[in-house]
Chains A and B, each alone.
Chain A
Amino acid sequence: MKSIALRNGKNLAATALMVLATVVLLTPLGLVFFHIVKMGLSSLSFDFFTQIPKPTGESGGGMANGLLGSAIQITLASCIGLPVGVLGAVYLTEFGGNRLANIIRFSADVLAGIPSIITGMVAYTLLVVPMKGFSAVAGAVALALIMMPIVLRTTEEQLKMVPGTLREASLALGVPLWRTSLKVMLKSATKGIVTGILLSIARIAGETAPLLFTALGNQFWSHKLTEPMASLPLQIFSFAIAPYEDWHKLAWAGALVLVVIMFSINLGARLLGRQKRYS
């Protein structure tokens, strides 16, 4: 029998270690955040939102073309990715009692874990090679591929949470299944589904690796979908590894803007998701 003092001592030591671990873990994360805010605020100016990058050696400039490019590519990716995610999830909830559905669920989870750079390589072979050039479309498709499995799984999660009684009531009234699904199921789960969609948009807004050899990036204004297009994460990357102080500043400003955008989307999604939907 061990003495109670020893056991209490061990308990205390273990507790202290856990507290210490939490502090050690939060420190670098806090530092990252601190530097982004500090360096970002000191480098951010109005020009950032209106100018395109200046040539090497000139100071100033902004990432307006990257912001526009990101917006275009994310919109296009959503147009491709959302139908697959949402309607695929409808299939899984309404008709998904079979083996095929389980396989699809499993592949979605596996797909979500594939490194995004590989998604970029696949988009490259499927679109960049046949189209004979880097393009915004290829970038958007790569982003859509990342988005699909996330939206599919979160939407299914939300549809499953709609009380079965609602669905049965509608069916019992003679409403056909497709109408029940659209007007009762999807409608009641809208908030949750939108939350999932917002989170997936936040995720692809920061993706860099899949754009490296699909959209490629662009130093100038670009709005043609068949040509290389700038995007915010790509610009942060190329400016961060460049050897110029001025470009580092722009990269910090870009990082701050990107983090603020992502956190706002995240926060909005969470607030939307937190509201009670079914009593």
Chain B
Amino acid sequence: MQQDPPIMTDISRQTNGTGRPGINGDLVYKRVTAFFALVILAILGLMIFEMTKESLPSIGKFGWRFLTSREWDAVQGEFGSLPYLYGSVISAVLSILLATPLSVATALFITEIAPQKLGTVIASLVELLAAIPSVIYGLWGVLVMAPWLQQTVQPWLSEHLGFLPFFSGAPYGVSMMAGVLILAIMIVPIITAISREVLLAVPQSQREAAIALGATRWEMIRMAVLPYGRSGILGAVILGLGRAIGETMAVTMVIGNSPQISLSLLSPAYTMPSVIANEFAETTSKLHSSALMEIGLILLVVTLIINIMARLLIWGVTRGSKAGIA
């Protein structure tokens, strides 16, 4: 729903409304509210500043080596973040590859195929699931999913597909695979919900035109609906990626927390947020906490870029609808 922008009144020339000289209430009001609005801006600036400042000792000592070294030794004071970067990137990308087709297909089902009532029910169900906190997905992951993976899925995989490097090794349960699955389950509601908003914003005339030309429903989706919503859906996927990279609790609980770089999905791994969650409260030295801060800074920069990209893409399609607040 598009409304006319409110008329901006020039408050500098107004009186205080009582007809008597005195304080200009509107000006005070403007200043007070502006102060609170600026707090938001200040917080963002402060976050970037603090994270950078606290990372400086680590940046100064290790330089670019921090990104390429596998050494993470709090006793020796050697810190390299490669296993964490690897774990974060691989788990996020794989979970996105898993979640995207499912989410987009579901969003299409909700908006294009299902009867309106059923669509609304599924949509609100999905939205409700997006509200379940991370720690609860983690609880389910570590107590239900990981044992199931260890006893059923992973032995089968390593027996029948064990010749592939991706499925070699012993079944631990807590593993890269568990991390990917739990992440996919967690970002599916977000991508679905935003894709749905984007698809709802596709003008009805697009669909009618395609149908009028004799298209089947699938052809209508492929030729009229998807191209129109493409950038918005891409935005939803990128937003999901941002969520996956920053996701902490659930991943920490199921990924095994072992800083190794292995092609196998069955072996444990470690991510950037997980190492922060596990070590930050009990750092052994200034350098240790600074190294964790630098990991946090990398995480911050990556998520900032991802989010800015996603917002721009989604805004382009839905124009001011609430899709941006996820």
A206 with B325, Cβ < 8 A, contacts A26-B125, A237-B249 known: no
Specify which of B25, B245, B324 lies most central, judged by the most chain A CB atoms within 10 Å of its CB: B324
Residues of A172-190 at the interface with B, using a CB-CB cut-off of 8 Å, are 174-179, 181
Specify which chain B residues have a CB less than 8 angstroms from the CB of A17 in the assembled complex: 105
| A111 at the B interface (CB under 8 A) | yes
B299 in contact with A148 (CB, 8 Å): no
Residues of A221-236 at the interface with B, using a CB-CB cut-off of 8 Å, are 233, 236
Residues of A8-30 at the interface with B, using a CB-CB cut-off of 8 Å, are 8, 10-11, 14-15, 17-19, 21-22, 24-26, 28-29
* Interface 0/1 of B216-256, CB less than 8 Å to A: 11110100000000000000000100110111110001000
* Interface 0/1 of A82-116, CB less than 8 Å to B: 01100111111111010001011011111111111
Nearest CB in chain B to that of A20: its residue: B105
What is the minimal beta-carbon distance from B62 to any residue of chain A, in angstroms? 19
Q: Point out the residue from A113, A164, A177, A262 that lies within 8 Å of B133, measured CB to CB.
A: A262
| Interface SS, B side | helix
Nearest 8 interchain pairs by C-beta: A206-B133, A115-B246, A176-B17, A21-B105, A178-B29, A113-B307, A91-B33, A88-B37
* Complex Cα spacing A148 to B36, Å: 10
* Complex Cα spacing A8 to B218, Å: 9
* Complex Cα spacing A93 to B6, Å: 8
A149 with B40, Cβ < 8 A, contacts A15-B113, A241-B142 known: yes
| A251 at the B interface (CB under 8 A) | yes
* Complex Cα spacing A126 to B49, Å: 11
B37 in contact with A91 (CB, 8 Å): yes
A94 with B44, Cβ < 8 A, contacts A18-B105, A25-B106, A236-B136 known: no
B303 in contact with A114 (CB, 8 Å): yes
* Complex Cα spacing A116 to B131, Å: 15
Residues of A253-276 at the interface with B, using a CB-CB cut-off of 8 Å, are 255, 258-259, 262-263, 266, 270
Specify which chain A residues have a CB less than 8 angstroms from the CB of B125 in the assembled complex: 26, 29
B248 in contact with A116 (CB, 8 Å): yes
Total of A-B residue pairs, C-beta within 8 Å: 289
Nearest CB in chain A to that of B26: its residue: A177
Nearest CB in chain B to that of A160: its residue: B3
Interface size on B, residues (CB 8 A): 102
* Interface 0/1 of B285-303, CB less than 8 Å to A: 0000000110010011001
Q: Contacting chain B: which of A46-54, A56-64, A71-79, A208-216?
A: A208-216
* Complex Cα spacing A33 to B47, Å: 35
Q: Contacting chain A: which of B149-157, B160-168, B273-281?
A: B273-281
Q: Contacting chain A: which of B8-16, B66-74, B77-85, B200-208?
A: B8-16
| A68 at the B interface (CB under 8 A) | no
**Can you show 5 pairs from A to B with CB atoms below 8 A apart?**
A29-B189, A154-B325, A176-B15, A213-B280, A255-B135
B29 in contact with A177 (CB, 8 Å): yes
B242 in contact with A26 (CB, 8 Å): no
Nearest CB in chain B to that of A200: its residue: B325
A110 with B142, Cβ < 8 A, contacts A28-B185, A104-B37, A175-B17 known: no
Nearest CB in chain B to that of A149: its residue: B40
A36 in contact with B136 (CB, 8 Å): yes
Interface size on A, residues (CB 8 A): 104
* Complex Cα spacing A91 to B6, Å: 12
| B304 at the A interface (CB under 8 A) | yes
What is the minimal beta-carbon distance from A63 to any residue of chain B, in angstroms? 13
| Interface SS, A side | helix
| B212 at the A interface (CB under 8 A) | no
Specify which chain B residues have a CB less than 8 angstroms from the CB of A157 in the assembled complex: 322, 325
| A207 at the B interface (CB under 8 A) | yes
Specify which chain A residues have a CB less than 8 angstroms from the CB of B325 in the assembled complex: 109, 112, 150, 153-154, 157
* Interface 0/1 of B309-326, CB less than 8 Å to A: 011000000000010111
A91 with B133, Cβ < 8 A, contacts A115-B246, A263-B128 known: no
Nearest CB in chain A to that of B311: its residue: A109
Specify which chain B residues have a CB less than 8 angstroms from the CB of A149 in the assembled complex: 40
* Interface 0/1 of B24-67, CB less than 8 Å to A: 01101110111011111101101100110010000000000000
What is the minimal beta-carbon distance from A118 to any residue of chain B, in angstroms? 5
* Complex Cα spacing A16 to B126, Å: 20
What is the minimal beta-carbon distance from A5 to any residue of chain B, in angstroms? 11
A171 in contact with B40 (CB, 8 Å): no
Known: A117-B246, A118-B300. 15 other contacts (CB 8 A): A18-B109, A22-B110, A94-B33, A95-B34, A112-B325, A113-B246, A114-B47, A115-B248, A116-B248, A171-B9, A176-B15, A178-B26, A205-B133, A237-B138, A251-B139
